[in-house]
Chain A
Amino acid sequence: MLVARILSAIATIWLATTLAFVALRILPGDPVSAQAGEAGLSSSQAEYQRELLGLDQPLATQYITYWRGISAGDWGTSLYTGLPVTIMIAQQALPTFQLAVSSMLVATLLGFLLGYLAVFGQLNLIRHVSALLIDLSLAVPIYWTGTLVVFVVAFWVDDLRNQLWIPATVLGFHVSSGLARMVRTQLHDALKQPYVTVARSQGLLPRTIRQKHILQPILATLLPVIVLQFGYLLSGTVITESIFQRTGIGSVLLRATLLQDYPVVQGIVLLMAIIYTVLTLISDFGVALLDPRIRQGSS
């Protein structure tokens, strides 16, 4: 079971990368002509570049070369910077990692908080405001919030680019919606469950009911939601990095797309596929550990 799951994860990564590889090569024109234009190379210079990159080889040969490289830790070389793709990713991984992790923290906390307050908020006002914020986090484009923040917050905060918490809050707010809605629905459902009614009739304090009988059971069901949100969050980093003029994987990908820097685009596809698949794996096993029914069923 475990082995099969890991094998299928590897197959997914391989397939995603292969799709990207094929797609990027069957298009009319090739990376060198794009680059030759950008750099003002003559046609003989372009021909030389093409040879260097092995683009004159048949597709199958290129494909084998590509995987041979990957297995040796060589993810290709950027057409523009001349740096190995792995180094470019490594150089920019930290800021994106920081942004992603801190946004995820904000999103998780905000998601729980808003979802909880929308159901159990003590005042009507609190419940309505929370509900509105949940709706807005899904409906407002992040580049709109981001633009407002960049121009408005800059008046009070010096050196915006080095303040991680500002973009993290913006991105976290937008990513929180999925979790918040899920928490809200689950809490609503849990309130209707017979065991809650029973607990109430036994005279347990509302606080105890909430913690023991409502919140704890739903935690396990929320783990996959949090992981799913991570994909959405990675998409969000591209825009966030662009708006806040931050460096990172997102801005590397955006630039590579605009310049048609194929090896870099391909490297980032591979990276994303690995991250996402590994996270899904972890969440699957996490759920299995948290939920005894699945654990028993799988063994």
Chain B
Amino acid sequence: MRVSSRRIMLALIFWLICFLLLPPLLTSASPTQTHPDQQLRLPSADYLLGTDYLGRDIWSRLLYGGQNTLLQAGLSTFIAMTIGSALGIVSAISRSIVDRLLVALINAMLAIPGLLLALVLLTLLGRGSGALIAAIGITQIAPVALIVRTATQQVLLTDYMLASYAMGATSWHRVRVHVLRMLTPLLLTYGLVVFGYAIMNGAALAFLGFQSPGTADWGVMLAEARNSFRLTPWPALPPGLAIIVTMMLLNRIVTQRDKHTNG
């Protein structure tokens, strides 16, 4: 049952590459081209995973949908991680007033549950990929900042830092380099967590109608599959399974990394 974390990591990387880079190699069909006379076909040689209610090729939509979904989640994660860690580190190493203000701000953002905060932001941002990336990214800033702040405080208390303080040899530059080096494993692990959230929330919001209709996107595919669910539930299966596999891989890695870092 136990699989080494390196193997799972490799599996995840392979999985991500399949969707991010390989779609043009794996299919020649367009993910958006409709075929009104080929609706709801089951898998066949022509359509590897069948077609949906507009006769679009599900295999192609799955691949390009993965590209969109994962890229979008990656960008949200980037926003959350950069802004979040910057706020967290600044808060941890600044004097009490700035720290207090930042903590208050972080707490205020945390007081509204994730998906609801994203909804509030979407009231302002409207719809489409850009709005979703921003809303989901911003939503995760506060949790990232909080975790990075705590971790930074711990790093600053380590013997090494205390020693360099004592020797008077500490420069800003050194603090930065050292803190960042110590934080890297945590940031990587937590980045994967945020990435998972971003996939789930992005697909959820796409499902709720905040993505342009017809886009190749796993959440949109799931939402559209409902339109033909009574005739055939088949089109709901591939995007659902794709999300599940991605999340399983991510969660497995996070759990194992946690074990390594904690003991």
Contact = CB atoms under 8 A, between A and B. Distances in A.
Interface of A: 8, 11-13, 15-16, 19-20, 23-24, 27, 128, 135-136, 138-144, 147-148, 151, 181, 231-232, 234-236, 238-239, 242, 253-254, 256-258, 260, 262, 265, 268-269, 272-273, 276-277
B36 to A, nearest CB: 25
Interface in B207-263: 207-209, 222-223, 225-226, 229-230, 233, 236, 240, 243-244, 247-248, 251-252, 255
Give the interface size bracket for B toward A. 35 or more
A12 B108 contact: yes
A15 B108 contact: yes
Contact of B112 (A8, A232, A239, A273): A273
B170 interface: no
Contacts of A260: 123
A13 B111 contact: yes
Interface of B: 1, 104-105, 107-116, 119-124, 200, 203-204, 207-209, 222-223, 225-226, 229-230, 233, 236, 240, 243-244, 247-248, 251-252, 255
B112 A272 contact: yes
A12 B111 contact: yes
Nearest to A242: B208
Contacts of B223: 143
Interface centre among B108, B236, B240, by most chain A C-beta atoms within 10 angstroms, is B108
Contacts of A19: 108-109
Q: Taking chain B's interface residues, is the majority helix, strand, or loop, or is none over half, making it mixed?
A: helix
7 contacts: A23-B120, A23-B124, A235-B114, A239-B204, A242-B208, A273-B108, A273-B112
A24 B115 CA distance: 17
| 5 smallest beta-carbon distances between A and B, as pairs | A235-B115, A139-B247, A15-B108, A231-B113, A16-B108
A273 B111 CA distance: 5
Interface centre among B1, B115, B200, B244, by most chain A C-beta atoms within 10 angstroms, is B115
Contacts of A141: 200, 203-204, 207, 222, 240, 243-244
Contact of B251 (A16, A135, A231): A135
A276 B113 contact: yes
B110 to A, nearest CB: 8
B201 to A, nearest CB: 8
A136 B244 CA distance: 8
Contacts of B200: 141
Contacts of A24: 123-124
B116 A238 contact: yes
B111 A138 contact: no
Nearest to B112: A272
A253 B208 CA distance: 12
